[in-house]
Amino acid sequence: MPKVTIDNHEIEVPEGTTILQAARMIGGDIVPPAMCYYSKLKTSGGYCRTCIVKVTQGSAKDPRPMPKPVASCRTFVMDGMVVQNTTSPELLEARKGVVEFLLLNHPLDCPICDQAGECDLQNLAYDHGADTTRYQFERRTFEKIDIGTKIKLHMTRCILCYRCVKVADQLTEGRVHGVMNRGDVSEISTYISNAIENDFSGNMIDVCPVGALTDNTFRFASRVWFTKPLDAHRNCAKCSGKAVLWMKGDEVLRVSARKDKYNEVEDWICNDCRFENKNKDQWVIDGPRFIAKDSVIAQNHYENIDLQKLKLDINRQIKFQGGKDILEHNSRVQFDEESKKALEATKK
Amino acid sequence: MLTNRSKVVVNKQMTFMERIYLPAVIGGLITTMKHFFRKKTTIDYPKEKREISENYRGQHVLKVDEKGAERCTACGLCAVSCPAEAITMTAAERKKGEENKYREEKYAAVYEINMLRCIFCGLCEEACPKEAIFLTDRLVPVSGNRDEMIYGKDKLTEKSFNQVDISKRQTPEVLAFKQQKQYQHNK
């Protein structure tokens, strides 16, 4: 099994693991950001270049460094490979350049965009991007397209990550989605601008890292940070039925799939669950969705602290972030035996 | 004892002069009469107004642009930044033919500020990415009715023929910032 060192963390991984996957096995801040790679979609990755890393030692046999930063989602690890991500200022500068390229044609319409607040590109630009642009020309613009009645395509916002194309290819039978043209004029399009009559086509909304594909039933209904996300499930013949309800009062504004810490969907949900069941009574509520404390979605939610609920939340949080630094920061909370065991297990 | 200001209470007998109270009464009257000759600290308010700061934080205004279209796009940043949670809004999509009414494809169909909750901190103005909301030097009139103190768009939005001057709130730095070409990508 090859041994790889990423930002001074050594890990042994199975043959055929990519650097990005190895970094995710280590976890924490050293994981390179990814806009196009999606672990649940085959052959995704390699388009956006945000996950670039510096390989300072190719392998134990051939210790020469790689001449250029490499895309970590497409580069397999070799035994004795040494990789730098956050420890290399040079690389962070290069990534800043990549982000600048991604933002080149991206409109600054976050105040209008429904994705704002849960947008990967927004987070990426906030963490890695420059706060100004040097681009002074007209940005490319497209007309809005309705893909079916429920999905809206804003090609202007698209960063061409190809994730939605992979969803159409791999999740749904028969490809009805693709990228046309090349370079600056390439655009996502249905072959005939007809509806996509597939049960899982709604998942394109969830995989889209920007606001290019948005839920038409949620369009302008509310900003995400004014909604309250709840984990819920229902018996569904087509999918797992595990979803997140985005509530405002007792009203379900939107249903989306549950996402993990890398913003990747855990279980694909079908269009019935996503678009047709917008009544609270049709769902069994599992509890509040864990939202990272520094997310804008967690803003202005002051609920009465219910200790029982808090304990539940913390248990979920432990599971969510793999037990990292929970005990140190929450010394006031008493843990029960079960959660302590869970914590120990995840630390190992 | 937390401070050194405490005093021991003594039950002292008053002297004769203290018991007739006259010297104390006269002393009090002298103090009162001194105030007759001082400068008045009050003003005759509705007729006369105090000088206030150029960037006084009074009643809000929702700006319209030079063509009379509303600038607010209901992004919700003012509401999320509001520490008093005084702002609520509902967004709506602009229809065809309303381009002269609303500047962006989304607009605030309902925009309400609860003036009883508002603490006039100006964070909404600071958060606004569209230069749509400003605090002005106008005072919020009092009311005997709570419902009247929730200001909707009818009270907040300025009329295009009678725009509220907010140029003094914009510092030379802000104006210089607006002139730079790389920040004009949202036009």
Strand ranges for chain A from DSSP E: 3-6, 9-12, 52-57, 70-71, 81-84, 145-147, 151-153, 177-180, 187-190, 213-215, 228-233, 242-248, 251-257, 284-288
Which residue is listed with tokens 């037990």?
A: A323
The answer to whether A241 and A235 are in contact (CB under 8 A) is yes
- Show Cβ contacts of residue A53 under 8 Å, excluding neighbours closer than 6 positions: A6, A19, A23, A32, A69, A70, A72, A75, A83, A84, A85, A91
Asked if B105 and A112 come within 8 Å (Cβ–Cβ), the reply is: yes
Instruction: Find the CB nearest A220 among B79, B106, B129.
Output: B106
The answer to whether A5 and A63 are in contact (CB under 8 A) is no
The pLDDT value given to residue A120: 92
Interchain CB contact of B86 with A (< 8 Å): no
Tokens of A82: 């040494």
Asked if B75 and A111 come within 8 Å (Cβ–Cβ), the reply is: yes
CA separation, residue B3 to residues B6, B8, B9, B10 (Å): 7, 13, 16, 20
Chain A residues within an 8 Å CB radius of B131: none
Instruction: Find the CB nearest B182 among A132, A139, A220.
Output: A132
Q: Which helix (H) or strand (E) holds A341?
A: helix A337-347
Tokens of A31: 């994981």
- Show Cβ contacts of residue B23 under 8 Å, excluding neighbours closer than 6 positions: B17
CA distance A272 to A270: 5
Q: pLDDT confidence of B136, banded at 50, 70, 90? A: very high
Q: What is the pLDDT of residues B45-74, one digit of tens each?
A: 889 988 888 889 999 999 998 888 999 999
Among A40-49, A103-112, B93-102, B166-175, the minimum mean pLDDT is found in B166-175
Interchain CB contact of B186 with A (< 8 Å): yes
- Residue ranges per structural domain of chain A: 3-100, 120-132+140-218, 224-288, 306-347
> Can you tell me the mean pLDDT for A29-42?
92
What is this model's ipTM? 0.76
Percentage of chain A with pLDDT > 70? 85
Interchain CB contact of B80 with A (< 8 Å): yes
Interchain CB contact of A222 with B (< 8 Å): yes
The pLDDT value given to residue A306: 56
CA distance B155 to B138: 12
Asked if A135 and B76 come within 8 Å (Cβ–Cβ), the reply is: no
For A209-235, give one letter per residue: b (16+ CB within 10 A) or e.
bbbbbbbebbebbbbbbbbbbbbbbbe
Interchain CB contact of A112 with B (< 8 Å): yes
Q: What is the pLDDT of residues A188-233, one digit of tens each?
A: 877 655 556 778 888 989 999 999 999 999 999 999 999 988 899 9
- Show Cβ contacts of residue A301 under 8 Å, excluding neighbours closer than 6 positions: A228
> Can you tell me the mean pLDDT for A109-125?
92
- Show Cβ contacts of residue A307 under 8 Å, excluding neighbours closer than 6 positions: none
Asked if A112 and B182 come within 8 Å (Cβ–Cβ), the reply is: no
The pLDDT value given to residue A93: 93
Provide the sign of the torsion angle of the four alpha carbons A86, A89, A94, A96, taken in this order.
Answer: positive
pLDDT at A262 > cutoff 70: yes
Q: What is the chain A residue with the closest CA to B83?
A: A300
- Residue ranges per structural domain of chain B: 60-174
Q: What is the chain A residue with the closest CA to B88?
A: A226
CATH 3.30.70.3270 holds for B60-174: yes
* Phi and psi, residue B162, nearest 5°: -140, 65
Chain A residues within an 8 Å CB radius of B106: 111-112, 220
The pLDDT value given to residue B167: 83
Q: How far is B128 from chain A (nearest CA, A)?
A: 9
Residue A203 DSSP SS3: helix
CA distance A75 to A77: 7
Residue B109, CA atoms < 13 Å, CB-side half-sphere: 10
**Checking phi first, is residue A23 left (phi over 0); if not, alpha (psi -120 to 50) or beta?**
alpha
Chain A residues within an 8 Å CB radius of B74: 220
Partner residues linked to A188 by β-bridges: A179
Residue of higher predicted confidence among A73 and B5: A73
Report the candidate in B135, B121, B141, B126 with the shortest Cα–Cα distance to residue B165. Answer: B135
Q: How far is A218 from chain B (nearest CA, A)?
A: 11
Instruction: Find the CB nearest A136 among B79, B80, B182.
Output: B182
Average pLDDT, chain B: 88
Domain A120-132+140-218: give its CATH architecture. 2-Layer Sandwich (3.30)
The pLDDT value given to residue B184: 56
Contacts A–B by Cβ distance under 8 A: 52
CA distance A2 to A147: 45
Question: At residue B22, what is the residue type?
Answer: L
Q: A3-100 maps to which CATH number?
A: 3.10.20.740
Interchain CB contact of A135 with B (< 8 Å): yes
* Phi and psi, residue A286, nearest 5°: -90, -20
The answer to whether A90 and A70 are in contact (CB under 8 A) is no
CA distance A341 to A336: 9
Cβ atoms < 10 Å from Cβ of B83: 12
Q: What is the chain B residue with the closest CA to A137?
A: B185
CA distance A149 to A217: 9
The answer to whether A171 and A257 are in contact (CB under 8 A) is no
The answer to whether B122 and B134 are in contact (CB under 8 A) is no
Asked if A108 and B185 come within 8 Å (Cβ–Cβ), the reply is: yes
